[in-house]
Amino acid sequence: MSGAQVSALAVVLVSLVTLGIGTWGLRFSRTTSDFFVASRTVRPRLNASAIGGEYLSAASFLGIAGLLLVGGAEMLWYPVGWTAGYLVLLVLVAAPLRRSGAYTLPDFAEVRLGSRGVRAACSLLVVAVGWLYLLPQFEGAGLTLAAAIGAPQWVGPLVVGAVVLANVSSGGMRSITFVQAFQYWLKLTAILLPAVVLVIVWWGDGHPSPGTAVPGGWSSPVADGGGIGLYTTYSLIMALFLGTMGLPHVVVRFYTNPDGRAARRTTVVVLALLGLFYLWPPVYAGLGRVYGDRLVAEGRSNVLVLELPRVMMDGLPGELLTALVTAGAFAAFLSTSSGLAIAVSGVITQDVTGRLVGERRRGGVTAFRLAAVVAVAVPLLAALALENVGIARSVGLAFAVAASTFCPLLVLGIWWRGLTTPGALAGLAAGGAGAGGAAVLAIAGVEGSGWSGALLDQPAAWSVPLAFATMAVVSRLTADRAPAHARRFLVRLHTPESLELDLS
Amino acid sequence: MTGPPRHVVARPRTRLGEVHDQTPLGDLYLRSLLREQFGLAARTLAAVALALGTLPLLFLLAPDLAEREIAGIGLAWILLGGVAYPFLLLLGWRYVRRVERNERVFVDLVLSGRGERQDPEDEG
């Protein structure tokens, strides 16, 4: 059996197991509540594995190692930022968000401000951020299948799209929880085991040092270019640290916790699981410096994780390890895309198709399935039509948009009773237009140079403060329009559950 | 010596009722809980900003740091590729312990029966 066949088999296996667990989970999915939030009964450890599985995307599994190989230590901010984002989420948002009792971000906005307008704006943003994040997942799937089995670029997106659609529309959130939890452990194994084997091989080779072709600044955690480099690095840090809380698929997971306390504990386990995973991509980058000169020269550093086993080991062992990392990469696309598809279809169901089909219980599930088709098809077509934007780049832009819109809305909505509807709308518009505009220009292929390029490429450092300031100032100016129930709502967000129990 | 309460409350009120019903005393409870929780969050974030956030500036101002190696691995790689994760986990774990303690204190305070109820006019 050739190497390509082993890898193809691995991809088929991952897809089948994913579908299998999804169908098994279907036995537990009975109601619309199961579909959206697994009826809020998921325990911290299972939920944390599911969050980890969902969160570790194509960018984490494939993108980072390649970026580290080419860009050096400054790219370490990606994995650190993706982990630190959960700490920020933990301290500012986790428990109150869960206690708000809302299903999705638009739900939160609506109950907090009592405004249909803010709800509509949030729904639009959830769909926009979700699609912006789905695009690189499909792109990565195309790259992976092309590298592993030599398939044309369009095969990967279609396979991922089909499996995700089948899974999401059959079992909803409940079955996806099991799938995601399984996929975290699969991904950890798929990145850890080959890394350990390859380090042993490297040691057996007489642990050679990296070649002379060491890129400049490989050991500095700040981008080149003095002031511009410093701006770029800090802007990236800001987008990643603050963007996590605004990602639709991350937020929707918090509603599946039984209560606010469980939401916090889940987040701490997530911090541990992510840290455990992110220790490994740098190992691939380090080995890539020794063995991967050809990949860099050919501009294929983005498939470093997939190619390294083959480059370092001949014959069957190399092919088996390649099959394992291919399976892990595929799990990454499937799980992140599923999570995003669930979140986006949840919003589309509530705001669009739910109205069309009707609010009945069975109608709710039909509406959800209809929405899932839309949620997957649009970014799939975009991925097939557009040139590659670069996995890490478009993921970075999705974080920038989330950090400039949902982060201020959540933080001010949870901690400041002075937030008003006009303030929230103005802030969302300012942040969304700023970061979203930069993202649209990037996808359209516009590239500036010098400061203008840096400001467009990494908008977070100006768009996040702009959104916060706009939201606060306009809220102050319209203070008489603060919702009457704001104080009562804050009480609910910050009151421990043990009190609620005593009350009722 | 304190006089008898000027208001006779018909129905026994818990302090939780005060928190929910926008009385000045309830307002005070909530404000103090919010301040406590937000302060804790801010301190945790400040620790992150101080430990991680200063690294780019530090490495820009002292480029020699990038040349430092421990066991053949660059300093930046050790800090951001390894040490950062247990550090973030530790901060998260400490935060949860403290925030749960704050909440216990708040629950005890609120459930500790009817305190001396203050006159609504006394506070604003």
80-99 in chain A: CB under 8 A from chain B: 80, 83-84, 86-88, 90-92, 95
Whether residue B115 lies within 8 A of chain A, CB to CB, comes out as no
Q: Which among A229, A241, A279 has CB closest to B82?
A: A279
Cβ–Cβ < 8 Å for A346, A340: no
Residues in chain A closer than 8 A to B82 (CB atoms) = 279
Residues A87, B44: C-beta atoms closer than 8 Å: yes
Q: Is the pLDDT higher at B40 or at A36?
A: B40
CA dist., res. B88 & res. B101, Å (int): 20
Inform me whether the C-beta atom of residue B53 falls under 8 Å from chain A C-beta atoms.
Answer: yes
ipTM confidence: 0.86
Any idea what DSSP says for residue A32? H
Which of A202, A268, A287, A416 is the best residue to mutate to test the B interface, defined by the most B CB atoms within 10 Å of its own CB? A268
Alpha helices in A225-360 (DSSP H): 226-243, 248-254, 260-278, 281-291, 293-297, 304-312, 315-348, 354-357
Q: Does A292 touch chain B if contact means CB atoms closer than 8 Å?
A: no
First and final CA of chain B: distance in angstroms? 25
Domains annotated on chain A, with CATH:
3-390 (1.20.1730.10)
| Sign of CA pseudo-dihedral A211, B56, A436, A252 | positive
Q: Is A19 helix (H, G, I), strand (E, B) or coil?
A: helix
Cβ-based contacts of B74 with chain A (< 8 Å)? 73, 218-219
Nearest CB to A271 within list B75, B76, B89: B89
CB contact under 8 Å between A218 and B74, yes or no, is yes
Chain-chain contact of B60 with A487 (C-beta, under 8 angstroms): no
Distance of CA A293 to the CA centre of its chain: 30
Write the DSSP symbol of residue A349. I
A301-329 burial, b at 16+ Cβ within 10 Å, e below that, comes to: bbbbbbbbbbbbbeeeebbbbbbbbbbbb
| Tokens read off for A146 | 């092309």
User: Taking the alpha carbons of A230, A77, A336, B89 in that order, is the dihedral positive or negative?
Assistant: negative
Closest residue in B to A72 (Cα) is: B77
Which pLDDT tens digit goes with each residue over B92-107?
999 999 998 888 888 8
pLDDT tens for each residue of chain A, 504 residues long? 566 777 778 777 877 777 777 666 655 555 555 555 554 566 778 888 888 888 888 778 888 888 888 888 888 899 999 999 999 999 998 888 888 877 788 888 888 888 888 898 999 999 988 888 888 888 888 888 887 777 787 888 888 888 888 877 765 555 677 778 888 998 899 899 989 888 888 888 777 777 655 555 677 777 777 788 888 889 999 999 999 888 888 877 777 787 888 888 889 999 999 999 999 999 998 888 888 777 777 777 778 888 888 888 777 888 888 888 888 888 888 888 888 888 888 888 877 766 666 555 455 677 778 888 888 888 888 888 876 666 667 778 889 999 999 999 999 999 988 889 999 999 999 999 998 888 888 777 777 777 877 787 788 889 999 999 999 999 999 888 877 788 778 888 888 877 754 443
Distant-in-sequence, close-in-space partners of A452: CB < 8 Å, separation ≥ 6: none
What gap in Å lies between CA A351 and CA A347, rounded to an integer? Answer: 6
